[in-house]
Chain A
């Protein structure tokens, strides 16, 4: 292990049921996720040295720098609290920052939490605030990503319904995850295909929902993890990369920052054959086609071949050799600021053997992945059942 001077591990993962509207207060929502994570790690508020919070734009809830209001709800009186914001990747980045607090030897036990309460406003409003002198023909993120997906489809000549296969797979995976927002038990492939085009080539069924929710992780040092009675997920590597969202010659299908982030994290974890050595992947797929795109970009498939993995069923928990998004993924739950941390937390649950009905049998090594902005911010970690 080359990362950090100290080992760190995940001791607890806590989530809320993702839904259109969480019925409680913002503080209540965060406390529910946090207390679930503390319970799994057999720790209390007093045991925690610091809290690292992540969230997407403050405009979603209309609370400026909400860590100020929430510090006291999260056991932070007299303690440190930080607030990370790196666009859509924030949940992942926040977990990476939290891990660094332990890897550096600064703290022993850290609570990290990502959240969003989209129901307080409207994502379309918050993501498309008016700007004088400008013109906007887009509607949120879909309008931005659809031309990139179109490019990928032209580049690979992938069959038109690959995206629908991903959408159906992730929604089926979600049925085994009690926290998932969407539970569409009767969904058929035909329904996915016949769903209306929103941002052609993206169908409604191929987009993520707007969710409320929070996901919290308790991280501990090697000493703390060794003393913990339950299973832990050892953090084998963490990486963050960012690049400019627009410059001439930019690879937008597989951005350099994505590849650099993956190369870094897999090198830290000592992974050589990514497809073979990784047992489960939680990747950030807000629009279905991003699964084959990330499979290629993260080095699980050759360039142009990611869609074949999807088509062959390789990414399904049902017999696939590289199950992707067994939790149902972002396509089934998207509390934006939490979405990255859910990926990281679900990866941890897999190697802890605590993923319940969506457990990949014998998973030893798993990947959490998140991206954001104009596909320009990346965060990843690799977790393992063995130190």
Chain B
């Protein structure tokens, strides 16, 4: 029976900050001040929201004109369950809305209780968020309005501070699965064993395994090979400044390419129990493992690599790395 597939959540998130330039900045400034701006195109029509170029001809645009806060729904769909990042807390309708005074629609939400309250051609009124910062979500959404409702274009007060950047955070959730070869490697890691996979043509051994041999352009052999937790340093870096991703590491520390005995390629590991100035290319090292009761299915089981005290590996060609041959031939 096949082992259950290894899975782990992977969240990618970042608070992107975008500089806006004059036109997007003016539109967002307007939103903060409770005014909606469009931009005039060369045919005299008004596009809202505005861009610094005409999206059909690419010619530059700059003449901003206020438009109304009332408008007409051009098309719509129902969003029954708001997704986590959508700025709406309850079911709503997506709609393309042409504001009075503009000739092209913008995308936003219409805050109604159900799809039966939506129809193409309906009139809507912009609903401002009370606290505004210069962001498309300064518009809380649109509400149904009377057929005859008309807003009036406002004007951005003179002298207000212009919006120059906008924060657009992104968060995406994935389920990571490591694949065939790496899963076997991770399972063995839990038992304090290091596995590599082997090129079917050259016998080269790759640690961690990759599932394919880049030399042959073929899948590696299905049976992985076990390697000792000893090897040598084929080159190294000394990081002398702290890095954000590893707050646990105090500079200076050594990150070294470790070539295990029987492996054909190196991988990056942390130097341990040795002063950076004493690390040498060719130095023999062995793994420093986490205590047995803390072992997981993770490469993090190996805390780092410490000198064995054996004589250094002899390196006769500094340009080439790893070994041409694989396990059993070394």
B322 and A143 form a contact (CB under 8 A): no
**Distance, CA A250 to CA B257, complexed state (A):** 14
8 Å CB interface, B236-252 against A: 236-241, 243-246, 249, 252
A334: min CB distance to chain B, Å: 18
Closest residue on chain A to residue B300 by CB atoms: A135
- The answer to whether B273 has its CB under 8 Å from any CB of chain A is no
**Distance, CA A119 to CA B20, complexed state (A):** 12
**Distance, CA A146 to CA B270, complexed state (A):** 14
With known contacts A72-B56, A130-B10, A133-B297, A251–B320 Cβ distance under 8 A: yes
Closest residue on chain B to residue A244 by CB atoms: B214
- Within 8 Å by CB of A197, from B11, B56, B238, B297, lies B238
A44: min CB distance to chain B, Å: 9
Closest residue on chain A to residue B59 by CB atoms: A45
- The answer to whether B57 has its CB under 8 Å from any CB of chain A is yes
**Distance, CA A23 to CA B17, complexed state (A):** 11
- Within 8 Å by CB of B21, from A23, A121, A137, A199, lies A23
Count A-B contacts at CB 8 Å.
201
- Within 8 Å by CB of B6, from A121, A133, A246, lies A133
Binds B, one of A25-33, A89-97, A223-231: A25-33
Collect the chain B residues with CB atoms within 8 Å of residue A200's CB.
237-240, 252, 276
A198 and B239 form a contact (CB under 8 A): yes
Q: Which of B6, B21, B215, B237 gathers most chain A CB within 10 Å?
A: B237
- Within 8 Å by CB of B237, from A26, A129, A196, A199, lies A199
With known contacts A31-B53, A147-B257, A252–B319 Cβ distance under 8 A: yes
- Within 8 Å by CB of A27, from B52, B57, B244, B299, lies B52
- The answer to whether A131 has its CB under 8 Å from any CB of chain B is yes
Closest residue on chain A to residue B318 by CB atoms: A155
Collect the chain A residues with CB atoms within 8 Å of residue B10's CB.
130-132
**Distance, CA A246 to CA B212, complexed state (A):** 12
A25 and B21 form a contact (CB under 8 A): yes
Collect the chain A residues with CB atoms within 8 Å of residue B21's CB.
23-25, 28
- The answer to whether A138 has its CB under 8 Å from any CB of chain B is yes
Closest residue on chain A to residue B330 by CB atoms: A248
A147 and B9 form a contact (CB under 8 A): no
Binds B, one of A73-81, A170-178, A273-281, A340-348: A73-81
With known contacts A121-B14, A131-B176, A132-B176, A199–B245 Cβ distance under 8 A: no
B52 and A25 form a contact (CB under 8 A): yes
**Distance, CA A151 to CA B233, complexed state (A):** 12
Collect the chain B residues with CB atoms within 8 Å of residue A122's CB.
14
8 Å CB interface, B280-320 against A: 281, 297-300, 302, 318-320
**Distance, CA A251 to CA B12, complexed state (A):** 34
**Distance, CA A59 to CA B171, complexed state (A):** 11
- Within 8 Å by CB of B321, from A128, A130, A131, A252, lies A252
Closest residue on chain A to residue B215 by CB atoms: A247
B51: min CB distance to chain A, Å: 7
- The answer to whether B79 has its CB under 8 Å from any CB of chain A is no
B134: min CB distance to chain A, Å: 14
B239 and A74 form a contact (CB under 8 A): no
With known contacts A23-B21, A25-B20, A248-B324, A137–B249 Cβ distance under 8 A: yes
B252: min CB distance to chain A, Å: 7
With known contacts A137-B246, A148-B235, A125–B14 Cβ distance under 8 A: yes
A376: min CB distance to chain B, Å: 10
Query: Which 9 pairs, one residue from A and one from B, show the smallest C-beta to C-beta distance?
Result: A248-B264, A244-B214, A24-B21, A132-B8, A147-B235, A200-B238, A155-B318, A139-B243, A146-B237
Q: Could you list 17 examples of A-B contacts with CB < 8 Å? A: A23-B19, A26-B18, A59-B14, A73-B55, A73-B58, A124-B243, A133-B176, A133-B178, A133-B298, A139-B243, A143-B268, A146-B238, A155-B318, A155-B319, A196-B240, A200-B239, A250-B322
